[in-house]
């Protein structure tokens, strides 16, 4: 239950083996790649392989094909798909595309005709009252006429043109105005150009349209039906092409995703004199497996080194957890991973979270339902969330038994305890209010002290004496806080006179002085030097030091108090839970016997949903602010083994 040990591994080989080596790294599933060189090394002639990814264009080409053919992209086994180079993929895409494009062009052409003819019908309907042959209108010798639609916004512009034309609007809609313009035949080119620039959509009446409007509409409708048949036939052909090409497109796309992904990894690979240089981290437990995978190369040299060998690389963090505590890593990751030299707080979170949930949401019946809900959530939605719910549910059942509460019935378990002979149980929330609140604060004090002890352990491990000894969460802070707690509890609750002068001087004042002077003390201890500031270049005056540390001390003291008091909410929620269930019971008493089961079920469901969520969130808050803030440094780098993820990017 710590942090997985890592090894830094360096891979050097000839360029012709790079692709195979990257394949193996992906296959291993345990190689976290780092950039091969720092910028300093680049200056010495070592360069990064920052090549253009040749597979990008092909990836897009296959995405486009899939989109055109209505194929949903999904990950497919591509082991038997032969093409590998971008050129080979390009050829395949072209081959599949050719047969599709032929049909698609036919389909588009037919659709275009349908659109135009539909427009023509609309326009002919506008000309219905004329009762004259269209051919006569459009074949005038000196006058050119055009029908179509003009964007309504451009209507106002027409009167500002000096050109020789006039526009007759038929019908003005939101976006377009249907109409017709006339101009001298000799100037039609200029006028057409003018109207085109205003996005006039001209409707061309097909040659076969003649006679009056009724006859024209009839012929157009017939032609639209013909073109629709063409569209349908083309679509049938496209569907057949799609079915035939589906398998190849899926395989090609999956392989392209893989090749594109591995090619992207080359950006982190260094190059010098025909050799590639690669480095990264491998978990120590996988060292053997990784070494074996890397055998069989002619030129590859694999060197394992301690993780701190290269100052430019930060070892990644993998949290090692037992089955019992593993689900809670979700909460730790939410806060931020600890660094490689840090402390894995998952077990601590698992215990405290479960315990606090049980205390705050203690009910045997509701806890049981939370366990059942956890089973469903774990199976259907999220395994970790389900597991957390199961653990919390059990804890809730245990504390529910101690409180004697089953679905809000507070007296159900009384006879059981009586029979066993335990007279101090069940714990009645409203009768033991003081005890519950004091215990909550006590739990808080205990958890804060435990957090400080973890911080001291991490501080010594990292040889950070300011953190371990003199800091507000170090030994000085621990002595001060625990002495004050013992002193106050002893004096106020047990009437013991322990706050004597030596007690105050040695256990309260001296630790406070240590915290106040934590920076110079830790520098003196580590470097045997006297300096007021941790930053060597900063010139800190004594006055500045006192002012700065006075305010910091003020903040520390305030945080001791506020953090401790914050745990009062634990007791508060015990009372609130009991209070809410009391409301449900009161409501039950107010309704008829038939309605009582409904009130009970709805009341319990409401309390479970609302309070369950609030309690879960409040505990996360306690963990993050009151506990984690004392020791957890969330600057760890997550372990991300190289590999290729399948992300289909089309509709």
Name the residues that contact another protein, by CB under 8 A.
56-57, 59-61, 63-64, 66-68, 108, 111-112, 114-116, 118-119, 151-157, 160-161, 173-176, 194, 197-199, 201, 649-651
Between 43 and 420, CB nearer to another protein: 43
CB of 118 to another protein, least distance (A): 8
CB of 173 to another protein, least distance (A): 7
Between 206 and 490, CB nearer to another protein: 206
Between 159 and 423, CB nearer to another protein: 159
User: Given the DSSP bridges, would you call strands 270-272 and 275-283 parallel, antiparallel or unpaired?
Assistant: antiparallel
CB of 147 to another protein, least distance (A): 14
CB of 489 to another protein, least distance (A): 46
Between 533 and 650, CB nearer to another protein: 650
**Secondary structure of 74-88 in the HEC alphabet?**
CCCCCCCCCCCCHHH
Nearest to 195 by CA among 175, 171, 179, 216: 179
CB of 187 to another protein, least distance (A): 14
**Secondary structure of 38-91 in the HEC alphabet?**
CHHHHHCCCEECCCCCCHHHHHHHHHHHHHHHCCCCCCCCCCCCCCCCHHHHHH
Cβ atoms 391, 397 nearer than 8 A: no
CB of 108 to another protein, least distance (A): 8
Between 80 and 159, CB nearer to another protein: 159
Grouping H, G, I as helix, E, B as strand and the rest as coil, residue 199 is coil
CA distances from 475 to 76, 402, 469, 518, 572 (A): 58, 36, 5, 11, 31
Per-residue DSSP letter, 274: T
Between 152 and 629, CB nearer to another protein: 152
Helix axes 346-360, 568-590, angle to 10 degrees: 40
Nearest to 389 by CA among 405, 363, 370, 406: 370
Between 259 and 319, CB nearer to another protein: 259
CB of 198 to another protein, least distance (A): 7
Cβ atoms 107, 238 nearer than 8 A: yes
CB neighbours (10 Å) of residue 236?
Answer: 11
Between 229 and 649, CB nearer to another protein: 649
| Residue-by-residue DSSP string for 163-196 | SS-EEEEEEE-SSEEEEEEEEEGGGHHHHHHHHH
CB of 222 to another protein, least distance (A): 20
Judged on CB neighbours under 10 Å (0-12, 13-18, 19+), 146 is: buried
């Amino acid at each position: 239950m710590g942090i997985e040990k890592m090894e830094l591994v360096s891979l050097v080989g000839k360029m012709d083996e790079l692709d195979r080596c990257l394949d193996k790294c992906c296959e291993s599933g345990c190689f976290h790649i780092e950039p091969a060189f720092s910028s300093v090394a680049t200056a010495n002639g070592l360069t990064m392989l920052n090549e253009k990814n040749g597979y990008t264009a092909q990836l897009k080409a296959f995405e486009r094909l899939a989109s055109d053919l209505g194929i949903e992209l999904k990950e497919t086994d591509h082991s038997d798909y032969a093409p590998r180079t971008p050129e080979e993929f390009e050829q395949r895409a072209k081959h599949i595309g050719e047969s599709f494009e032929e049909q698609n062009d036919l389909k588009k052409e037919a659709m275009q005709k349908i659109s135009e003819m539909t427009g023509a019908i609309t326009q002919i309907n506008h000309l219905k009252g004329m009762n004259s042959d269209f051919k006569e209108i459009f074949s005038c010798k000196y006058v050119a006429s055009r029908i179509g639609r003009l964007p309504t916004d451009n209507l106002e512009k027409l009167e500002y043109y000096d050109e020789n034309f006039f526009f007759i609007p038929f019908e003005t809609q939101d976006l377009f105005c249907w109409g017709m313009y006339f101009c001298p035949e000799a100037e039609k080119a200029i006028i057409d150009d003018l109207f085109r620039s205003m996005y006039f959509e001209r409707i061309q009446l097909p040659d076969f349209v003649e006679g009056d409007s009724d006859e024209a509409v009839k012929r157009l409708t017939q032609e639209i039906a013909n073109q629709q048949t063409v569209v349908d036939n083309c679509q049938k052909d496209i569907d057949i092409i799609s079915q035939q090409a589906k398998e190849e497109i899926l395989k090609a796309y999956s392989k392209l995703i893989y090749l594109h992904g591995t090619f992207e990894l080359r950006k982190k690979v260094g190059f010098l004199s025909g050799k590639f240089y690669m480095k990264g981290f491998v978990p120590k437990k996988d060292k053997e497996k990784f070494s074996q995978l890397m055998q069989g190369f002619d030129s590859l040299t694999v060197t394992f080194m301690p993780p701190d060998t290269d100052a430019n690389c930060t070892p990644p963090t993998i949290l090692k957890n037992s089955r019992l505590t593993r689900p809670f890593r979700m909460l730790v990751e939410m806060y931020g991973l600890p660094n490689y030299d840090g402390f894995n707080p998952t077990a601590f979170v698992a215990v405290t979270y479960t315990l606090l949930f049980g205390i705050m949401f203690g009910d045997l019946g509701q806890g049981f339902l939370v366990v059942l809900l956890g089973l469903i959530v774990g199976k259907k939605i999220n395994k970790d969330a389900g597991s957390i719910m199961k653990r919390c549910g059990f804890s809730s059942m245990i504390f529910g038994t101690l409180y004697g509460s089953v679905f809000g019935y507070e007296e159900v378990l009384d006879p059981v305890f009586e029979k066993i002979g335990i007279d101090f149980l069940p714990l009645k929330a409203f009768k033991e209010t003081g005890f519950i609140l004091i215990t909550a604060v006590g739990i808080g004090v205990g958890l804060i002290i435990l957090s400080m002890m973890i911080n001291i352990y991490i501080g010594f491990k990292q040889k950070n004496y300011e953190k371990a000894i003199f800091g507000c969460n170090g030994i000085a802070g621990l002595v001060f806080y625990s002495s004050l707690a013992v002193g106050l509890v002893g004096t106020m609750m047990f009437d013991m006179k322990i706050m004597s002068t030596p007690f105050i001087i040695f256990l309260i004042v001296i630790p406070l002085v240590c915290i106040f002077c934590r920076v110079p003390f830790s520098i003196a201890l580590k470097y045997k030097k006297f300096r007021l500031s941790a930053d060597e270049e900063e010139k800190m005056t004594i006055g500045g030091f006192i002012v700065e540390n006075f305010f910091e001390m003020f903040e520390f003291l305030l945080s001791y108090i506020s953090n401790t008091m914050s745990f009062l909410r634990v007791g508060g929620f015990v009372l609130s839970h009991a209070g809410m269930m009391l409301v449900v019971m009161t409501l039950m008493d107010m309704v008829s016997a038939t309605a009582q089961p409904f009130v009970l079920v709805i009341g319990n469901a409401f309390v479970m949903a609302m309070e369950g969520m609030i309690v879960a969130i409040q505990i996360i808050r306690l963990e993050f602010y009151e506990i984690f803030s004392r020791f957890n440094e969330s600057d760890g780098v997550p372990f991300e083994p190289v590999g290729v993820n399948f992300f289909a990017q089309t509709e």
